[in-house]
């Protein structure tokens, strides 16, 4: 299957992921760096070696992947990710290329200890690149979608997930869920455990499983609205890394859907033309109603913005929650970071937006 077809399926199907093979050379080099990060020699393929890792070892791996060995990992992985994304993204969309750690330790706390742990909520997008706290290393990740975590930049933000350790029944592994009818945004709560945890009723209605394609030697690709979590912390640590890439325009829809731009040197005309193009694509790719709602905000067509968002949403969102999401999309902020002043600015006559926001990506699409 061609890469363009993979991306088209990602947009149109209820199962929003696919996998590609990681070269053996890259896999070996990454494993060596993980050993260096732990500052000890161990075999990532050995169940016994993994079980004997300490929390201190896992902290070092997490910290050094994000810091000391970041440049080496970028050098290894960026060329491969560039090849994977060349068909839909421009070179500048990989300019802020960083590797994140996705480690989990093993169960060391009892159920009664959960209430004593103070979970850290991030209010600054840059904080998501910081080393993980013990709470996140030692507890399961709650069901969520990454749209808010990435500042509502794009429903098509891509996550490349590389599971480095083997799949064991006693490991805390990433799980994903297939949408029931159409892909979109599930309602969420800011809880004591996670800043945008999918509401329990919605989460329980989804079928969660560990994707078969998510194993060592594979690059598991999903997007920012793919529901995912991790299963229960158990006896064997997990080591994984990921890369997140946000489109800086909507040019990918023209490549994926084989459309031709019909823009002129007229801003209002071009917004209308882009509106028609997104509407055409959103017939089969419901998630693009998010970008359509933001385009309506730019046009100050607020009623239409709410209508498009409600098509994107998979449950009824409160009006004030939608307004905060709109502010996040204009000002590149996660949900919990949006202020009342941000919301007020959305509805002012003068259009304002932040660089690298969803609104900015729409404006960048209009360049001819």
Residues 72 and 146 in one domain: yes
Per-residue pLDDT of 135-150, as tens digits, reads 678 788 889 999 999 9
> Of 216, 245, 274, at which residue does a domain stop?
245
Q: b/e map of 308-333 (b: 16 or more CB within 10 Å)?
A: bbebbbbeebeeeebbbbbbbbbbbb
> Of 229, 245, 261, at which residue does a domain stop?
245
Q: Which domain holds residue 32?
A: 3-245
Closest CA to 140 of 177, 115, 105: 105
Q: Is 47 buried (19+), middle (13-18) or exposed (0-12) by CB count in 10 A?
A: middle
> What pLDDT is stored for residue 118 in this prediction?
47
Higher pLDDT, 70 or 92: 70
> Of 201, 227, 245, at which residue does a domain stop?
245
| DSSP calls for 234-282 | -SB-B-EEEEEE--SSSHHHHHHTT------S-HHHHHHHHHHHHHHHH
The pTM of this model reads 0.91
> What pLDDT is stored for residue 294 in this prediction?
98
pLDDT band at 193 (very low <50, low <70, confident <90, very high): low
- Taking 60 as the threshold, does the pLDDT of residue 128 lie above it? no
Residue 191 contacts by C-beta under 8 Å, 6 or more apart in sequence? 142, 197
Residues 90 and 193 in one domain: yes
Q: What domain count does the chain have?
A: 2
CATH number at residue 91: 2.60.120
């Amino acid at each position: 299957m061609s890469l363009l077809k993979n991306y088209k399926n990602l947009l149109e199907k209820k199962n929003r992921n696919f996998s590609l093979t990681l070269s053996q050379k890259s896999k070996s080099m990454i494993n060596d760096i993980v050993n260096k990060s732990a500052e000890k020699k161990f075999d990532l393929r050995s169940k016994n070696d993994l079980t004997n890792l300490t929390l201190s070892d896992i902290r070092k791996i997490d910290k050094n992947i994000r810091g000391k060995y970041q440049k080496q990992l970028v050098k290894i992985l960026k060329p491969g990710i560039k090849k994977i994304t060349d068909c839909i993204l421009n070179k500048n969309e990989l300019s802020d290329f960083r590797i994140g750690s996705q480690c989990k330790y093993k169960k060391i706390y009892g159920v009664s200890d959960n209430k004593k742990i103070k979970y850290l909520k991030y209010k600054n997008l840059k904080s998501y690149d910081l080393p993980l706290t013990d709470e996140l290393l030692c507890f399961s990740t709650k069901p969520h979608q990454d749209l808010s975590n990435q500042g509502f930049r794009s429903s098509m933000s891509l996550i490349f997930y590389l599971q480095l350790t083997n799949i064991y029944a006693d490991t805390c592994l990433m799980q994903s869920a297939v949408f029931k009818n159409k892909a979109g945004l599930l309602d969420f709560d800011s809880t004591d455990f996670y800043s945008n945890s999918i509401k329990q009723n919605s989460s329980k209605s989804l079928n969660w499983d560990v994707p078969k394609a998510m194993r060592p030697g594979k690059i598991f690709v999903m997007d920012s609205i793919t529901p995912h979590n991790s299963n229960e912390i158990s006896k064997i640590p997990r080591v994984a890394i990921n890369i997140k890439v946000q489109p800086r325009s909507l040019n990918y829809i023209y490549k994926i859907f084989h459309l031709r731009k019909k823009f002129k040197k007229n801003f209002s005309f071009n917004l209308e033309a882009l509106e028609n193009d997104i509407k055409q694509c959103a017939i089969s790719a419901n998630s693009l109603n998010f970008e359509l709602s933001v385009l309506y905000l730019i046009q100050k067509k607020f009623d239409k913005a709410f209508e498009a968002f409600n098509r994107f949403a998979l449950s009824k969102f409160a009006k004030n929650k939608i307004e905060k999401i709109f502010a996040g999309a204009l000002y590149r902020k996660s949900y919990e970071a949006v202020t009342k002043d941000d919301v007020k600015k959305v509805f002012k006559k003068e259009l304002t937006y932040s660089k690298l926001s969803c609104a900015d990506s729409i404006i960048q699409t209009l360049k001819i």
